[in-house]
Chain A
Amino acid sequence: MVKHHDHNHPTEPDADNFIPTDGEIWEATLRDLLITKGVITPSMMRQQMDQTASQSASVGAEIIARAWTTPLFKDALLKNPKEALSESGYDLSGVPDLCIVENQSDIHNVVVCTLCSCYPRFMLGPPPEWYKSAAFRSRIVDEPKDVLLEFGLDLNETTKIRVYDSTADIRYMVMPMRPVGTAHMSVDELKPLITRDTMIGVAQPELPVNGS
């Protein structure tokens, strides 16, 4: 006979078992209204959410790796990103205007949107939570060196930090510097070095440790 289980365990609350915020009520109401009025369908909504969440920084990594290995593409990309990408076969329908800023030995770039969370989703996927936080957005324009240090990026004293605040219609992405010792590496070998954070500008590409 099974012993009767006569005591309660503390339970972890369900993630959505909270009183909705004003914003969540607004969103649900607006969504219901758009569906009721036939402006969108639930399927369109799901497809858009699916597509948004499926974008990833691997697109950006491929673009940067190609730029590192193809000087002509790099020049075109820095000059007019959408034109260069379009000519390379990327589908840019619905993508906002882009600007790619290149790190140099004495200039380090970092991207923020102090007003909200504008982000080059086409190349980097959905932004990380910290990118949207009030702490990052307010501090990076005021004390960028300290903030980057907290990310583990200890820049030289003489390096100029340029913070790009995406306040309008242009989305910014950083082209990190190609690390020394990678001259022999192919696009596919370079891609893993170019992470999301290196293209936001809170990190620099690092060579894998020997043996890994």
Chain B
Amino acid sequence: MTSQHVFSVADYVQVANYQIQKHHRVPGYLKGKTGQITAILGSYPNPEELSFFDAKGDDIPVYRVCFSYSRLWGGKGVNEVFADLMETWIEPIQER
């Protein structure tokens, strides 16, 4: 099972910023932050469903997203954080 990916490499995207009570695979410090997609890593079963033995849907595209220090924490800094995020947690950019 594969699904089409919505976003492309070099797109700026925003990590969805909401809370769910069950198991979820996105770090809290990235919620609401803006990053740039650097790679499309393929599609994987949704671990948030798998953890309840309930992965019925299509595999979810996973993207490698680069977050600059300033976008994460404010201030200056050359360092970067790369995280692998499921498409279900990524939204089109609201603002640049």
* Chain A residues with a Cβ under 8 A of chain B: 97, 114-115, 141-142, 144-145, 158, 160-170
Contacts and interface: CB of A to CB of B under 8 A. Distances in A.
Contacts of B41: 97, 168-170
A165 B62 contact: no
A162 B84 contact: no
Q: Size class of B's contact patch?
A: 20 to 34
B11 to A, nearest CB: 18
B79 A160 contact: yes
Contact of B85 (A145, A163, A168): A168
B81 interface: yes
25 contacts: A114-B27, A115-B27, A141-B29, A141-B72, A141-B81, A158-B78, A160-B80, A162-B80, A162-B81, A162-B82, A163-B79, A163-B80, A165-B81, A165-B82, A165-B83, A166-B84, A167-B26, A167-B85, A168-B41, A168-B44, A168-B47, A169-B41, A169-B84, A170-B62, A170-B84
Given A114-B27, A169-B44, A170-B41, A164 B82 contact: yes
